[in-house]
Structure 1
Amino acid sequence: MMKKLVFVVVALIGLISCSTDLSGIEEKLTGLEKEGANLEKKYDDAKKESERLDKESDALEAEVRKRQEENEKIRQHLLELEDSLNTVEPKLLSMEFVAADNPLQLIENVKCTIIGDSAVECRILNITSSKVLIPRFTFQGSVVTINGEEVESGVSEIDFSQPVVLSIITPKTIKDYTVYVGAYTGLPTVWLETTTHKDIEQSGQYFNGRLKLAATPGTSENGYVTQANAKMMIVGPVYWYRSRVHEDLQLGKNAYSILFNENVSLFDAPEGKAWEFYTNTGDKTMLHKQTAFYLSSISALEYTPRFYHVNLLMNGRYYGTYLMGEDLEASEGRVNVGSDGFVLGIGASTYGPSFTTDHLERAVSVIAPSSSQSDASVDYVSNFIATAENALFSSDFTDESNGWQKYMDIDSFVDWYLINEISKNENGAFRSDCMMNLTRGGKLKMGPLWDFEKAFSVDASPNGFVIKNVNWYSRLFEDPAFVAKVKERYDYFYSHKNDIITEVSNMAQYLKYAIQEDNNKWYTFSSDLIAGDQVWALYQTSVYAMEDWLNTRMDWLKGEFDAMA
């Protein structure tokens, strides 16, 4: 019995103990269930994140494929572009200077002219002390360089004070352009355009074309201009040169003759058809001819050819400062010899009928009327001059009624002589283009003045006679009446000596800017390009030398003429 009781007690105690252990297990199970739920939630979250990442990965892969496709297209395009650049011809399409890019140098935009495939001309229409400019340009090619340095349109600053080489570069070739930038000169501008737009490259043959004149300085070609159709040709030999920046032979500074299709008035001068362009190549001052014409304008000579300094452009290319003026024509506004009179030239370089005399050093050419006139006209004038010459060299040549003055006008012979002697004009010694004129029924007159290429030479002594020694004038100086007239008229010119020298100074000042631009083109004052102020200083030195020479020359002549009986 006791054993049963003990067993019951032990069993009861075991049950109580198991109950306590099961409670702890339940708590643990509950904790495990919660932890499992959390893990399941984390798993779901991780699964969702994985799905999101998978989607992003797919999107990124799609974007990568898209970018790869685009890059491939770009690569193909670049290859195609490279191929096209390898085959395209390098070419400058346009060039200009915009005032907004260059506010200190320009007052208006400047569009440049591309001439053929080798040159660019740009003309600034205002005074500027600097040609450091920002250009704008369009082109066909890969890269643009100026003087070997890569440049960017609308950004790069370039010094255009001298010609520069603009190069258009492609992978296979390079195209060079010589760029000239000229500035305002204060002179009228003339544009000559041949019908074919090709340069005149041979002498003595007319080419059809058109002339445009902007008589007001600073006017563009598109501004107010006089325009007229004309024929044009080079007078004398054709000159060529090689630019410092372009190795090809180029057309130099040549003299031109212009014949309009109809009468035209330029610079408010009387109407006429024939005009000339002189280069003044041998005259650094560019004032010899104009100084002689100033003397003519204050003389007793009836007609002084009207000449004007101009900028000349041929087919868009700048050729420098020229002297443009009236050619010799028998007309009311020029050499007024009536409808049947004559313009004659001793040693004239023009074509036409000619004849010689016993005492003249050169043949006499009939310049007007034209060679189409009858032989009778030539016979008339040749017989008249022979008669006048016979009277000059006759024993009673000093007789005013029957001697040389019966046929030769003393006033024109004296003033023409004095102007040529003052200038010590070597060509005036009846060597080249010494002009005379004759009206039927009138006397033979000297003039107009014409050729002064070998006058006012500072390299020649200011002393000594030149014109006085030719046959006709040597004989005339044997007549006291002629000598008296020479002395009287020279005193008149001598009284205007200061006016003459002042006129030289004023004309030089007028050419200040033109001289600098002309030198940039032709290197007149230095074999190397020099700054504008240096050009002006060298030019003034030449002008001062001319003024000093002229002053000394006139003083010497004064002493010589005063000493004549």
Structure 2
Amino acid sequence: MLKKYALFLFIAAAFLCCKKSAKVDEVIPVTPVVTVDSAVLTSVKIEAKNNVGKITTDITCTIANGEITAVVPDYKVGKKFALTYAVKNKGTNIKNGDTLQVSGVTVTDFTKPVTLSVISKSGVTNTYTVKIKVFTGLPILYITSASAIVSKEVYVKGKVVIDANQAYPQDVTSMTMQIRGHGNSTWTLSAFLKKPYRVKFDSKISMLGMTAAKNWVLLANYDDKTLMRNRIAMLLARRLGSDWAPDSRFVEVVLNGDFVGNYLLTPQVEVNKGRVDINELTDKNVTDADNTGGYLLELDQKRDADVWFNSNKGYPFAVKSPDVPTAKQLAYIKKYIQDTEDAIYAANFTDPVNGYQKYLNSDSFVNWYLTNEIVQNEDARLFSSIFYYKDRNGKLGMGPVWDFDLSGGNIDYTVAKNPTGIWFIRDDGWFLRLAQDPAFIIKVRNRWAAIKDKEVKQIFTDIDQTAADLKLSQQKNFERWPILNTYVWPNAVVLGSYDKEVAYYKDFLQQRINWMDANMSSW
């Protein structure tokens, strides 16, 4: 029995040993590593050694979402560069159309966006769009004048070349033009070293995607150290539907080879399609029906226009269009303004049929009013740049809004320096009387309720985005005009840095908006 049991154990042990040995000798299949073919750029650079005389430091491009972008810090170097490419897999070719791009060697013109085809060894293809900007990334206007620009009345002949810097469409990039000074205190005050300009083309030209026209303005924003008060207010006005609120673009200006700073390019206030788009009067409009419009007027205390008149309340109205009204046209618009004013101050002024609403478009007045009240615009309180229009067979409207460099707390000599405590625009002129009409009061309150949580709050997003867009531009501007530590009339504060100026502006507007909201029930 014991012999049988021992034999069983021996056989079992032998079986286990054989099985273990088999496991050791078993060949385990290895999964082969497959290299996935791809057409991917891992880095793109503009290297100084391959672009001698154009850059002194290597520039690493950003690659994101199929776009390759870079900003070259010098506006004088053009946009022809040799790019250095790194690819994921060997054997990958890069082509611009049919032209092979040899890394670090092939010079390509990047004036416009360039589409590159990246082709792997096996034929896998990927595409990238290359956008290379220069200087600050903003569009650049290269202006050459035949002589010095010394007058805001006399034009000087010249030429402008536009580098849209791939930010906006610009079909025509070089054109002849005329240029002169622009503005009042911004042109005449010797302390304002950076001057604004007005540009006039021979024919209508679209500038950076804006509606084509002959006349354009370059706002210097010298005393506004945020550089953005005009832009922010115009954006607000456009969102509120204020009549004919201007479009605008930030640009860099190089004048006769000299970089003169960051400017805001905007349409000139004029009767034109896409601007104040009303019927344009000429001396050929002779009938009574024709002469009901259109008119563009400016309330302007300077009283220096070619054609202007006073209302009985002493408000000076300049006739901006038509340029030279006929005697009949001038008589018509003078009477219409006076009839409007008389109706505003009449005993029955609240009558919806025979009161002031017979003559003016109250919705237009409300949108213009709120834009200027929110930013507390000094010039909009019966001084200048207060525009009115009247189209043919239409009522008197307000617009476009204009001139905001003395808004948002950028003033030290009136109550406008305080963000709270006063309805600044309401408490003067026609608005003071309109604010006595319950129907107009309701319009203002209802409009405020409709805009305060979206359109008004958007102001702060606009400011942050604009500050980001101007990050490089403001640095170059204040290198050219080092005034951040200097008082420029009529600054309320001198804070020493761009970021602090922007923060002050935001804080002023936040206080202003909070105060308006808290007090709107008593408007």
After TM superposition, the score normalised by the length of structure 1 is 0.63
1:154-553 aligned within 5 A: 184-194=135-145, 196=146, 198-217=147-166, 226-235=173-182, 236=184, 237=187, 252-340=193-281, 341-347=294-300, 351-360=305-314, 362-371=315-324, 373-457=325-409, 460-463=417-420, 464-496=422-454, 497-526=456-485, 538-553=497-512
Per-residue CA shift, 1:191-235, capped at 9, x if unaligned? Answer: 1111x3x3213332111111221122599xxx9862222111012
Cα deviation for residue 286 of structure 1 reads: 1.0
**CA deviation map 1:20-39 (0-9, x unaligned):** xxxxxxxxxxxxxxxxxxxx
Distance in 2, matches of 1:430 and 1:259, equals: 29
User: Does the 8 Å CA contact 1:435/1:449 hold for their aligned counterparts?
Assistant: yes
Letter in 2 for 1:207: V
- Give CA deviations for 1:384-413 in whole Å, capped at 9, x if unaligned: 111111111111000000000010001011
Tell me if the contact between 1:184 and 1:218 (Cα under 8 Å) persists in the aligned partners: no
Farther off after superposition, 262-271 or 547-556: 262-271
After superposition, the C-alpha distances for 1:165-204 in whole angstroms (9 at most, x for unaligned) are xxxxxxxxxxxxxxxxx9721211111111x3x3213332
Q: Deviations over 1:69-118 (max 9, x none)?
A: xxxxxxxxxxxxxxxxxxxxxxxxxxxx9358724269999999xxxxxx
CA contact (8 A) 1:256 1:277 kept: yes
SS at match of 1:298: helix
Moved more, 318-327 or 347-356: 347-356
What is the aligned partner in structure 2 of residue 98 from structure 1?
52
Rounded to whole Å, the distance in 2 between the matches of 1:358 and 1:545 is 41
Give the partner amino acid of 2:509.
L
Write the distance in 2 (CA, Å) between the matches of 1:263 and 1:425: 31
Aligned counterparts of 1:292 and 1:286: Cα–Cα separation in 2 = 12
Q: 1:101 to 1:431 in 2, by over 3 A?
A: closer
Report the alpha carbon displacement of residue 430 of structure 1 after superposing the two structures with TM: 1.4
Q: Which has the higher Rg, Structure 1 or Structure 2?
A: 1
Q: Aligned with 1:468: secondary structure?
A: coil
Specify every segment of 5 or more residues in structure 2 that has no aligned partner in the other structure, as ranges.
Answer: 1-50, 62-69, 81-132, 282-293, 412-416, 487-494
Greater CA drift, 509-518 or 324-333: 324-333
Tell me the amino acid that sits aligned with residue 238 of structure 2. S
Unaligned 5+ runs, structure 1: 1-96, 113-120, 127-181, 242-250, 528-535
Letter of the structure 1 residue corresponding to residue 349 of structure 2: F
Aligned AA for 1:209? G
Amino acid at match of 1:492: A
Deviation of residue 122 (structure 1)?
4.6
Q: Number of matched residues? A: 382
Separation in structure 2 between the aligned mates of residue 458 and residue 233 of structure 1, nearest angstrom:
26
SS at match of 1:548: helix
The whole-number CA distance in structure 2 between the counterparts of 1:498 and 1:486 is 18
CA deviations 1:17-57 (Å, max 9, x no partner) are: xxxxxxxxxxxxxxxxxxxxxxxxxxxxxxxxxxxxxxxxx
RMSD, matched Cα: 3.1
Equivalents in 2 of 1:105, 1:542: separation in Å? 31
Deviations 1:452-490 (A, max 9, x none): 121111661111221111120000000000000000111
Contact 2:71 2:134 in 1 (8 A): no
- Tell me, what secondary structure is at the counterpart of 1:190? strand
- Over 3 Å counting, the alpha-carbon distance change for 1:303 and 1:110 in structure 2 is closer
Identity %: 26
Structure 2 CA distance for aligned equivalents of residues 493 and 393 of structure 1: 30
Cα 1:268–1:286 change in 2 (3 A) is same
> CA 1:319/1:414 → structure 2, altered by over 3 Å: closer, same or farther?
same
